[in-house]
């Protein structure tokens, strides 16, 4: 039913010397062939035939023209499998046993059958017409994990804005930032290679210091994804700046349109097992279901518009003509953490199989080392009517390995307070314990290292 | 498969074009409207090779537009189910690979790639046999069989397979010979 010769005569029949039978859907192959065989060696445009057929042609043409605006998918074309005798041969299983692992452009990718349902997950970032059934996603994730673990790699999902770079609309550039608009040669060295002006998007982008080295090192340990809440064209442009050779991300760029839930990022569109994914993002709220995989990054505010957006009244890095440190900045720190997590995960000394290990456990373990052996009491920090254990700072301190308590006792090591005049604060000074501002806990969280307590003093209360 | 057929189309022309160059303008408009479009019946209209005839113009009631039925010869490309095609690989990922044969995009899922070929990620993701003798990567040429087609207004999509005899890589861009 599908030899070239028959297809050829099919086409010829369609072109001109058609009888009205052919105006019906080409799915009706049997009728088609019948008509074809009737009008014997027809093909070539016979002018007499043309004159006779002209009217029916005009009718058909009109009908065709009516059909086209009907919708994007031309109904009469679809998949040419209306043929009665269907045997696809050894290459693909019969349609009734095919598990339909996924759909490409409305056709099952294994048997070619037309499928229009919306089940499964859409992977529009790989190709706009691709959907995969849930079973297939599970199967692919398993298979891919084995491959990746064999290469000793894990998955890393990276956010763009405020994590790897900072963008600003050209319209929002302040007067003090005006020097950024100048000639490239006039810019200081560190900006020459990391500041980009994208006129067609009316934007300026500054890459975070150390980002290229970070990506290069991380690519040896992780298969990387970009996952941004920005739109696809923006995401692709940023990927070009970060990854000009297209080796780090290669069709693993997920944008806002690919999220299955509004305002939430999810690992359902990532083809990797959740137990092997580490996420780097500056916003915790969007990763509602995957907080355990998340490493929270300190936000990168280079442009004034970024500072303003988050309500900071201070001058931005660009206005101060300064930048985050390359060697001590957030990316350098987080790279060390990632390397630590990687080596702990692939530790030879462990008894369990690689597939049974969970990177979330490793994250918890590493986090708990930051403030271990610390016992923390809060003063004038937690609201009085609020159960203390639910407070963010309390939970953060516990995640970092500290023990939290409401009451003072000799084993307490740190008193966290905003006011040096409280009873607990004075007790701390008296007993030679550490008295620190709450930001000490937050900084330790971002830097994954216990911060020097002397950097976070608590101010003395003003005398009335 | 390519075909050289005669098609007909009713072209509408605005009265401003009436004059000496009427026929040329009609032909130019036809080319602009038709080349590069797709239809389910004929497939992708690649190029117009000649005009067979231009019928009598009919003035439409209500507007001043005139409708001419134009018969023209053109080359069309339409893939068929079961057809064997050569295509160039454009993207390789863990789900399979995408290839292009002219204006047609074909997806070959990993279910329809021989079982002895494994996906290798990396700088140049590819599918390779266990002994490394056969490799499918970007820019490789492959011979594949179409198992399903779908047409929309501007593009044709196909599902293909290389799991049959005589299908697979024709030439490898990385090969030394």
Query: Do residues A190 and A84 share a domain?
Result: no
- Domain residues for the domain of A424 are 375-455
Q: Per the CB < 8 Å rule, is A12 touching B5?
A: yes
Residue A45, both tokens: 């445009």
Distance CA(A163)–CA(A331), nearest Å, equals 8
In this structure, what CATH number is given to the domain that contains residue A288? 3.40.50.1000
Query: Do residues A181 and A89 share a domain?
Result: no
Instruction: Tell me what pLDDT residue A47 has.
Output: 41
Q: Where are the beta strands (DSSP E) in B14-61?
A: 38-39, 43-54, 58-59
In this structure, what CATH number is given to the domain that contains residue A383? 3.40.50.10190
Interface check for B107 against chain A (CB to CB < 8 A): the answer is: yes
Instruction: Tell me what pLDDT residue A5 has.
Output: 55
Work out the minimum CA distance from A273 to partner chain B, whole angstroms.
14
Q: Per the CB < 8 Å rule, is A107 touching B1?
A: no
| Residues forming beta bridges with residue B157, ordered by sequence position | B105, B150
**Local structure of residue A89 (DSSP, 8 states):** G
Q: Per the CB < 8 Å rule, is B159 touching A72?
A: no
Q: Per the CB < 8 Å rule, is A89 touching B69?
A: no
- Among chain B residues, the shortest Cα distance to A73 is held by B152
Q: Across the interface, which of A65, A92, A130 has its CB nearest the CB of B147?
A: A92
Instruction: Tell me what pLDDT residue B36 has.
Output: 84
Interface check for A113 against chain B (CB to CB < 8 A): the answer is: yes
Q: Across the interface, which of A2, A12, A129 has its CB nearest the CB of B80?
A: A2
Task: Write down the H helix ranges in A18-97.
Answer: 29-38, 47-67
Q: Per the CB < 8 Å rule, is B107 touching A110?
A: no
Query: Do residues A255 and A329 share a domain?
Result: yes
Closest of B105, B145, B169 to residue A105, by C-alpha: B105
If one counts every other C-beta atom within 10 angstroms of the C-beta of residue A431, the result is 11
Instruction: Tell me what pLDDT residue B174 has.
Output: 59
Cβ neighbours of B147 in A, within 8 Å:
88, 91-92, 111-112
Query: Do residues A124 and A168 share a domain?
Result: no
- Among chain B residues, the shortest Cα distance to A95 is held by B147
**A353 domain residue, yes or no:** no
- Among chain B residues, the shortest Cα distance to A77 is held by B40
A141, A160, A186 - which closes a domain? A141
Q: Please state at what angle helix A439-447 crosses helix A392-399, rounded to 10 degrees.
A: 40
Residues 6+ apart with CB under 8 A from A2: A83, B80, B81, B82, B83
Interface check for A273 against chain B (CB to CB < 8 A): the answer is: no
Distance of CA A296 to the CA centre of its chain: 15
If one counts every other C-beta atom within 10 angstroms of the C-beta of residue B99, the result is 27
Residue B64, both tokens: 């001043």
Query: Do residues A33 and A85 share a domain?
Result: yes
List chain A pLDDT tens, one digit each, 464 residues: 455 555 555 555 554 444 444 444 444 554 555 555 554 333 333 444 444 444 445 455 444 444 444 334 444 444 444 333 334 444 444 446 888 888 888 888 888 888 877 778 888 888 888 888 888 889 889 888 888 888 889 999 999 999 999 998 888 888 888 888 777 777 777 778 888 888 888 898 999 989 999 999 999 999 999 999 989 999 999 999 999 888 888 888 999 888 888 889 989 888 888 999 999 999 988 998 898 899 988 888 888 888 888 888 888 888 888 888 888 888 888 999 999 999 888 887 777 777 788 889 888 888 888 888 888 888 877 787 777 777 888 888 888 888 888 888 888 888 888 888 888 888 888 888 888 888 888 888 888 888 888 888 887 765 54
**A96 domain residue, yes or no:** yes
Q: Per the CB < 8 Å rule, is B6 touching A72?
A: no
**A224 domain residue, yes or no:** yes
Low-confidence ranges of chain B (pLDDT < 50): 176-177
A141, A159, A186 - which closes a domain? A141
Work out the minimum CA distance from A239 to partner chain B, whole angstroms.
15
Region of A78 (left: φ > 0; alpha: ψ -120 to 50; beta: rest) is left
DSSP A274-343: GGGEEEEES-SGGGGGGGGGEEEPPP---SHHHHHHTT--SPPTTTTT----TTTSHHHHHHHHHHHHHH
- Among chain A residues, the shortest Cα distance to B125 is held by A250
Closest of B48, B42, B10 to residue B28, by C-alpha: B48
Interface check for B65 against chain A (CB to CB < 8 A): the answer is: no
**Local structure of residue A249 (DSSP, 8 states):** S
Instruction: Tell me what pLDDT residue A214 has.
Output: 93
Query: Do residues A207 and A88 share a domain?
Result: no
**A48 domain residue, yes or no:** yes
Q: Per the CB < 8 Å rule, is A57 touching B39?
A: no
- Among chain A residues, the shortest Cα distance to B37 is held by A68
Interface check for A23 against chain B (CB to CB < 8 A): the answer is: no
Query: Do residues A164 and A299 share a domain?
Result: yes
Residue A102, both tokens: 């996924």
Residue A33, class by beta-carbon neighbours within 10 Å (0-12 exposed, 13-18 middle, 19+ buried)? middle
Cβ neighbours of A86 in B, within 8 Å:
none
Closest of A281, A292, A297 to residue A360, by C-alpha: A292
Q: What is the pTM of this model?
A: 0.74
Closest of A455, A442, A450, A438 to residue A382, by C-alpha: A438
Total domains present in chain A: 3
């Amino acid at each position: 039913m599908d030899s070239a010769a028959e297809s050829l005569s099919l086409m010829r029949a369609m072109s001109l010397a058609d009888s009205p039978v052919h105006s019906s859907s080409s799915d009706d192959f049997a009728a088609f062939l019948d008509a074809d065989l009737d009008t014997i060696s027809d093909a070539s445009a016979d002018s007499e035939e043309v004159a006779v057929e002209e009217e029916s042609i005009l009718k058909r043409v009109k009908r065709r023209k009516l059909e086209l605006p009907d919708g994007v998918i031309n109904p009469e074309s679809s998949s040419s499998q209306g043929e009665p005798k269907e045997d696809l041969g050894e290459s693909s299983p019969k349609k009734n046993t095919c598990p339909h692992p996924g759909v490409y452009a409305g056709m099952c990718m294994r048997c070619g059958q037309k499928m229009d349902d919306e089940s499964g997950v859409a992977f529009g970032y790989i190709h706009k017409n691709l959907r995969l059934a849930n079973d297939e996603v599970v199967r692919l994730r398993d298979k891919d994990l084995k491959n990746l673990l064999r290469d000793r790699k894990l998955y890393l999902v990276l956010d763009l804005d405020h994590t790897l770079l900072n963008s600003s609309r050209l319209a929002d550039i302040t007067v003090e930032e005006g020097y950024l608009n100048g000639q490239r040669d006039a810019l200081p060295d560190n900006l020459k290679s990391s500041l980009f002006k994208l006129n067609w998007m009316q934007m300026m982008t500054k890459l975070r210091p150390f980002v290229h080295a970070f990506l290069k090192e991380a690519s040896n340990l992780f298969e990387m994804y970009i996952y941004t809440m920005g739109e696809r064209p923006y995401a692709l442009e940023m990927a070009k700046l970060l990854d000009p050779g297209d080796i780090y991300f290669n069709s693993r760029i997920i944008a806002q349109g690919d999220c299955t839930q509004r305002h939430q990022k999810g690992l359902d569109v990532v083809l990797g097992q959740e137990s092997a994914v580490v996420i780097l993002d500056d916003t915790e709220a969007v990763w509602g279901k995957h907080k355990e995989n998340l490493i929270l990054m300190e936000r990168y505010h280079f442009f004034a518009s970024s500072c303003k957006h988050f309500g900071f009244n201070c001058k931005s890095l660009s206005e101060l003509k300064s930048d985050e440190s390359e060697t001590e900045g957030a990316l350098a720190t987080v790279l060390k953490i990632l390397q630590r997590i990687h080596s702990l995960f692939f530790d030879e000394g462990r008894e369990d199989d690689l597939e049974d290990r969970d990177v979330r456990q490793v994250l918890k373990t590493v986090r708990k080392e930051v403030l271990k052996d610390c016992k923390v009491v809060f003063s004038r920090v937690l609201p009085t009517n609020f159960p203390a254990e639910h407070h963010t700072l309390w939970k953060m301190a516990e995640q970092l390995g500290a023990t939290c308590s409401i009451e003072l006792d000799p084993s307490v090591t740190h008193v966290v307070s905003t006011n040096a005049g409280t009873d607990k604060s004075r007790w701390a000074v008296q007993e030679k314990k550490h008295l620190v501002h709450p930001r000490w806990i937050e900084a330790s969280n971002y830097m994954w290292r216990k911060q020097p307590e002397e950097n976070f003093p608590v101010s003395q209360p003003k005398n009335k | 498969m390519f075909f050289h057929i005669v098609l007909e189309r009713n072209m509408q022309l605005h009265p401003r074009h009436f004059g000496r160059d009427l026929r040329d303008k009609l032909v130019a408009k036809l080319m602009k409207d038709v080349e590069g479009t797709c239809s389910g019946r004929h497939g992708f209209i690649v190029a117009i090779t000649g005009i067979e005839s231009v019928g009598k113009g009919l003035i439409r009631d209500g507007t001043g537009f005139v409708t001419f039925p134009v018969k023209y010869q053109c080359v069309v490309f339409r893939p068929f189910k079961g057809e064997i095609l050569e295509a160039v690989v454009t993207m390789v990922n863990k789900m399979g690979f995408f290839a292009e044969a002219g204006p047609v995009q074909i997806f070959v899922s990993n279910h329809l790639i021989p079982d002895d070929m494994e996906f290798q990620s990396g700088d140049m993701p590819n599918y390779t046999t266990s002994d490394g003798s056969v490799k499918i990567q970007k820019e490789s040429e492959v011979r594949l069989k179409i198992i399903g087609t779908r047409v929309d207004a501007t593009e044709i999509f196909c599902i293909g397979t290389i799991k049959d005899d005589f299908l697979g890589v024709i030439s490898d861009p990385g090969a030394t010979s």
